[in-house]
Structure 1
Amino acid sequence: MLKQKVYKKGNKYYSRDVDSHNGGAWKVFERQGNKLKRVGTADKDLNIFKR
């Protein structure tokens, strides 16, 4: 498992999508309890286009 750096903006967390199978630049997460749950894929401008 690769350890990617995680960035926070507002209530969302972002990690670079190094595989970018869907054309995305970022994986998007939200905190649920003490864990992060993936909620989608975002483009380079942080617009979520796949949930």
Structure 2
Amino acid sequence: MNVRRRNNVAVTGCADGPVLLLAHGFGCDQNMWRLLTPTLAKSYRMVLFDYVGSG
């Protein structure tokens, strides 16, 4: 299986900004970042993912 699909990887934000890797805690998924991503997307390239078995 494709790693990007298995981990539900999403890459968003400013294409030329510094990269932020947002990793969630146990029992959560990348949806926990939904309130921060609109603000961070203005300045950063964000990589969000779900740990296998989460999300």
Answer whether TM exceeds 0.5 for this pair: no
TM-score by length of 2: 0.21
Which structure has the greater CA radius of gyration? 2
Name the structure where helix makes up a greater proportion of residues: 2
Name the structure where strand makes up a greater proportion of residues: 1
TM-score by length of 1: 0.21
